[in-house]
A and B are shown apart, each in its own frame.
Chain A
Amino acid sequence: MSSATSGYYVPHAARWPIVGSIGLFIFFYGFATWLNQGPFGKEMFFIGVAIVVFMMFGWFGLVAKESESGTYSSQVDTSFRLCMMWFIFSEVMFFAAFFGALYYARIFSGPWLGGVGGGGAEMTNAVLYQGHDYVWPSNGPEDIGGKFQQMGWFGLPLINTLLLLTSGLTCTFAHHAIRVGKRTPFILWLFATVALGFLFVGLQAYEYYHAYNDLNLKLTSGIYGSTFFLLTGFHGFHVTMGAIILLVVMLRATRKHFSADNHFAFEAAAWYWHFVDVVWLGLFIFVYLL
């Protein structure tokens, strides 16, 4: 089916991409229909998700098989590295949009709403909200979502920070183990990393429960609730993805995949893991601490 050309592997006849396109099409179309309360929206949404998951099993399974059978030269390996690196950069830019929204609201548009500023920027205050005093955390001059309390940094968020930082360490220990070919410690350290990751997600879920029930802090709590939940929510989603990726790497390791000099799937997962770690540090500082 496929042939190596000048050492660089160019696969023929890729069947998974079209499956992915169909899956994403059904997913997006279904999601939009669901949001509009149209017919079969929810069903299409889940069918789409199922097809995409199926595609990922198939596509990644194929790549894992090819990798283990030695199809990839070091040049192909470099392509994978470049691809992962710039994919992570694109993810950084996705988070940058939400961090940007947070900074803009806190530094610029919030004070303007409170009547501070010049050049016409404070006009909304003069025309609509005279007397509104802007203080962060804010849910706006119309108190959208009702009175709420801010999520403190001490307690759960601090514990979560320590959990993620520790998981970064265990991930690095796993890397050291595989680099000298020690499979059992590799698997165990990976297990620790995955466990810490899921523990983080669990505590994050508990924090949300606490926010909704004790603090009246909701997604609908004005700009504070919007930035808080979308930033931590997308981060939590990325932690979940990262933990699943590491879990898959761990399961592959138990099937004797990877060696001291061929384990890029793990390294890619580790890069991704450190990326979610760094995003969390940004969140901890700008969402919780300041």
Chain B
Amino acid sequence: MSYNDVTHHAADDQDHDHDHAEHGPAPGLMRWVTTTNHKDIGTLYLWFSLIMFFIGGAMALVIRAELFQPGIQIVDPMFFNSMTTMHAIVMIFGVVMPAFVGLANWMIPMMIGAPDMALPRLNNWSFWIMPFAFTIMLATLFMDSGGPAGGWTLYPPLVLQMGDSFAFVIFAIHFLGISSVMGSINIVATIFNMRPPGMTFMKMPMFVWTWLITAYLLIATIPVFAGAVTMLLTDRFFGTSFFSAAGGGDPVMFQHIFWFFGHPEVYILILPAFGIVSSIIPTFARKPLFGYDSMVYATASIAFLSFIVWAHHMFTTGMPLAGELFFMFSTMMISVPTGVKVFNWVATMWRGSMTFETPMLFAIGFVIMFTVGGLSGLMLAITPADIQYHDTYFVVAHFHYVLVPGAIYSLMAATYYWMPKWTGNMYDEKLGKMHFWISTIFVNVLFFPMHFVGLAGMPRRIPDYSLQFADWNMIATIGAFGFGFSQLMFVYIIFKCVRGGDKATSEVWEGARGLEWTVASPAPYHTFETAPVIEPATVTR
């Protein structure tokens, strides 16, 4: 039985003929404000994160322009600091997270054969908090005191010395947290409760699995973050002493609470990416995913381990030796399930009939360059070595390798992979490939030199640096502008694809597997209103 042999209950279809008239989207702008449709909301999330990608990217370019040459060149140090802070906040909470939620909205119901998300009104609210929360967050840049400038990690006591923007940043984080928790509860409820009969857990595509586990990370850690920033707020305005040694508290305590959230957070930013890559590589290798079961267990193991490694961000703060050792070994352990994943992707490609369309290029780019970031992460896990690397550009190189050619590449891969399903049109393959190659060259020109200046001792988050770092910084800045401006190509390709292009078939890709490829392209406004029949032999992933 072929996988697109999904049949419907004929009787159910007849039952629903009468209300087909009101099944299209409502007209006008209010459609987008009041929509409860998972595809509409997914689209809103994706556009939002694309816009934020350019706002956060512009901030990164301010940073790199300042670092083009040593000395204070363009911006004053305070503004530089608020750029590093806001760049991180925007990219994490405004780009990568909402983009993954947008993909979850679009794809999870179609992948598992559900009519919509479990709680459609809540889904609408999860999105419509985002623009309001980021209005507060970005408004701080225009306040007299300037934006937040203590780094996105908000360490006290520095962050408590901020001006007026402090309270706004804290509340914007609370606001965004409400959205994240509601969004992830919705995803959990959808995956548990909206699967049709026959769609067992082990028949779900990897993207659904990774999102299920990510949603749990969010539900478990975002409230902890909310608690941490609440303590900051009361320390600043209500006279508590959580983070003040004078009152019996401890500034390092904030770092523990923060990173208890912060470390799972970095897996929130990468697990859905693993899911995307696990969907794309089998399609273009024309082979099923190698070691599906082990992929599921590896994802769960990474999620579990992410809760017991947080203090590897704090090796230099002064911890008992037992703590340093525990967090070193637990961190290194993460490379085992991550290695399982990387080898499974490689084994999926092994002896496959490979073709290299744009999504596949980005997916392979992901596997290679994410691994570069993973290996430098292993170096950072070694406590005695980390004491040297801590707060240098080596750390910046490490997490940008896992986040830019990692998470961001997975988002680009996902966009090219599913855009024909969303729009009904094929994107421009030639431009897509050009976008990949130009991006890949520049992203390495941008981030690879940071390893060198970092190992040589250049500290992060400082607008000036000593002369011996000048050459590599100049090269990194050239890479940054190249990478930044080549993303305009991405926007052009998206617009071109939305407006027209070769018509896509429902299957879109020759080797595509899964329920989302059984519905028409573009996907109708409502899909799987009657549950598809899933036989044991139906291919769903």
B23, B33, B318: which contacts A119 (Cβ < 8 A)?
B318
A144 on the B face (CB < 8 A): yes
**How many residues of chain A are within 8 Å of chain B by beta carbon?**
79
Q: Which of B217-225, B364-372, B462-470, B488-496 contacts A (4 or more CB under 8 A)?
A: B217-225
A166, chain B: closest CB distance, angstroms: 29
B36, B227, B237, B240: which contacts A10 (Cβ < 8 A)?
B36
Which A residues lie within 8 Å of B121 (CB)? Answer: 11, 14, 16-17, 59
B36, B223, B228: which contacts A12 (Cβ < 8 A)?
B36
B534, chain A: closest CB distance, angstroms: 15
Is there contact, CB below 8 Å, between B320 and A97?
no
Which A residues lie within 8 Å of B260 (CB)? Answer: 97, 100
A134 on the B face (CB < 8 A): yes
User: Please, what's the 1-or-0 string for A8-29, where 1 marks a CB less than 8 Å from any CB in chain B?
Assistant: 1011111111101110110011
A60, chain B: closest CB distance, angstroms: 11
Q: Which residue of A lies closest to B181 (CB)?
A: A90
A139 on the B face (CB < 8 A): yes
Q: Which of B65-73, B78-86, B241-249 contacts A (4 or more CB under 8 A)?
A: B241-249
User: Please, what's the 1-or-0 string for A39-82, where 1 marks a CB less than 8 Å from any CB in chain B?
Assistant: 00000000000000000000100000000000000010011001
User: Please, what's the 1-or-0 string for A122-136, where 1 marks a CB less than 8 Å from any CB in chain B?
Assistant: 011000110000100
Is there contact, CB below 8 Å, between B34 and A14?
yes
**Given that A8-B115, A90-B222, A223-B241 are contacting pairs, would A17 and B320 also be in contact in the complex, using a CB cutoff of 8 Å?**
no
A10-B120, A79-B193, A139-B241 are known; give 17 further A-B pairs, CB within 8 A: A13-B34, A13-B36, A14-B34, A17-B124, A21-B132, A24-B175, A25-B135, A38-B164, A86-B185, A94-B226, A101-B227, A118-B321, A121-B320, A140-B249, A144-B241, A219-B234, A219-B239
A-B contact pairs, 11 of them (CB 8 A): A6-B530, A12-B26, A28-B136, A79-B118, A119-B321, A138-B248, A222-B247, A222-B249, A223-B242, A227-B242, A230-B230
B343 on the A face (CB < 8 A): no
Which B residues lie within 8 Å of A29 (CB)? Answer: 136, 168, 171
Is there contact, CB below 8 Å, between B19 and A3?
yes
Q: Which of B54-62, B250-258, B417-425 contacts A (4 or more CB under 8 A)?
A: B250-258
Is there contact, CB below 8 Å, between B248 and A86?
no
A137, chain B: closest CB distance, angstroms: 9
A150, chain B: closest CB distance, angstroms: 13
Per CB-CB distance, the 4 closest pairs between chain A and chain B, nearest first, are A97-B227, A140-B248, A109-B250, A17-B125
Q: Which residue of B lies closest to A29 (CB)?
A: B136
Instruction: Identify which of residues 98-118 in chain A touch chain B, using a CB-to-CB cut-off of 8 Å.
Output: 98, 100-101, 104-105, 108-110, 112-113, 117-118
A35 on the B face (CB < 8 A): yes
**Given that A94-B224, A140-B248, A142-B246 are contacting pairs, would A32 and B167 also be in contact in the complex, using a CB cutoff of 8 Å?**
yes
A159 on the B face (CB < 8 A): no
Main secondary structure of the interface of A (DSSP, over half): helix
Which B residues lie within 8 Å of A220 (CB)? Answer: 238-241
Q: Which residue of B lies closest to A229 (CB)?
A: B240
Which B residues lie within 8 Å of A109 (CB)? Answer: 245, 249-250, 252-253
A199 on the B face (CB < 8 A): no
B116, B128, B172, B221: which contacts A93 (Cβ < 8 A)?
B221
User: Please, what's the 1-or-0 string for A141-161, where 1 marks a CB less than 8 Å from any CB in chain B?
Assistant: 110110000000000000000
**Given that A32-B167, A97-B224, A101-B257 are contacting pairs, would A83 and B248 also be in contact in the complex, using a CB cutoff of 8 Å?**
no
A12, chain B: closest CB distance, angstroms: 6
B410 on the A face (CB < 8 A): no
Bound-state CA distance A119–B318 (Å) is: 6
A91 on the B face (CB < 8 A): yes
B346, chain A: closest CB distance, angstroms: 36
Bound-state CA distance A17–B182 (Å) is: 12
B130, chain A: closest CB distance, angstroms: 9
Is there contact, CB below 8 Å, between B219 and A86?
yes
B74 on the A face (CB < 8 A): no
Instruction: Identify which of residues 234-291 in chain B touch chain A, using a CB-to-CB cut-off of 8 Å.
Output: 234-235, 237-242, 244-250, 252-253, 256-257, 260
B162, chain A: closest CB distance, angstroms: 11
Which B residues lie within 8 Å of A17 (CB)? Answer: 121-122, 124-125, 128
Is there contact, CB below 8 Å, between A78 and B320?
no
B319 on the A face (CB < 8 A): yes
Is there contact, CB below 8 Å, between A83 and B186?
yes
B519, chain A: closest CB distance, angstroms: 15
B122, B231, B239, B245: which contacts A140 (Cβ < 8 A)?
B245
B391 on the A face (CB < 8 A): no
Is there contact, CB below 8 Å, between A89 and B220?
yes
Residues of B participating in the A interface, judged by any CB pair closer than 8 Å = 12, 16, 19, 22-23, 26, 30, 33-36, 115-116, 118-122, 124-125, 128-129, 132-133, 135-136, 164, 167-168, 170-172, 174-175, 178, 181, 185-186, 188-189, 192-194, 219-224, 226-228, 230-231, 234-235, 237-242, 244-250, 252-253, 256-257, 260, 318-321, 323-324, 526, 529-531
A226 on the B face (CB < 8 A): yes
Bound-state CA distance A78–B125 (Å) is: 20
A31 on the B face (CB < 8 A): yes
Q: Which residue of B lies closest to A220 (CB)?
A: B239
Bound-state CA distance A24–B136 (Å) is: 11
Which B residues lie within 8 Å of A123 (CB)? Answer: 318
Q: Which residue of B lies closest to A84 (CB)?
A: B185
Bound-state CA distance A91–B85 (Å) is: 28
Is there contact, CB below 8 Å, between B320 and A118?
yes
A213 on the B face (CB < 8 A): no
Bound-state CA distance A225–B324 (Å) is: 31
Which A residues lie within 8 Å of B186 (CB)? Answer: 83
Is there contact, CB below 8 Å, between B22 and A3?
yes
Which B residues lie within 8 Å of A110 (CB)? Answer: 248
**Given that A11-B121, A21-B125, A223-B249 are contacting pairs, would A94 and B240 also be in contact in the complex, using a CB cutoff of 8 Å?**
no
A87 on the B face (CB < 8 A): yes
B106, chain A: closest CB distance, angstroms: 16
B170, B221, B320: which contacts A117 (Cβ < 8 A)?
B320
Is there contact, CB below 8 Å, between A219 and B240?
yes
Is there contact, CB below 8 Å, between A22 and B132?
yes
Which B residues lie within 8 Å of A21 (CB)? Answer: 125, 128-129, 132
Is there contact, CB below 8 Å, between A87 and B168?
no
Bound-state CA distance A123–B245 (Å) is: 12
Is there contact, CB below 8 Å, between B320 and A93?
no
Q: Which residue of A lies closest to B238 (CB)?
A: A219
Instruction: Identify which of residues 208-230 in chain A touch chain B, using a CB-to-CB cut-off of 8 Å.
Output: 218-220, 222-227, 229-230
Bound-state CA distance A110–B188 (Å) is: 39
Q: Which residue of A lies closest to B31 (CB)?
A: A13
Bound-state CA distance A222–B136 (Å) is: 31
Which B residues lie within 8 Å of A145 (CB)? Answer: 239, 247
B312, chain A: closest CB distance, angstroms: 15
B3, chain A: closest CB distance, angstroms: 21
A10, A222, A230: which contacts B231 (Cβ < 8 A)?
A230
Q: Which residue of B lies closest to A82 (CB)?
A: B189
Which B residues lie within 8 Å of A28 (CB)? Answer: 136, 168, 171-172, 174-175
Which A residues lie within 8 Å of B23 (CB)? Answer: 3
Bound-state CA distance A31–B185 (Å) is: 27
Q: Which residue of A lies closest to B169 (CB)?
A: A32
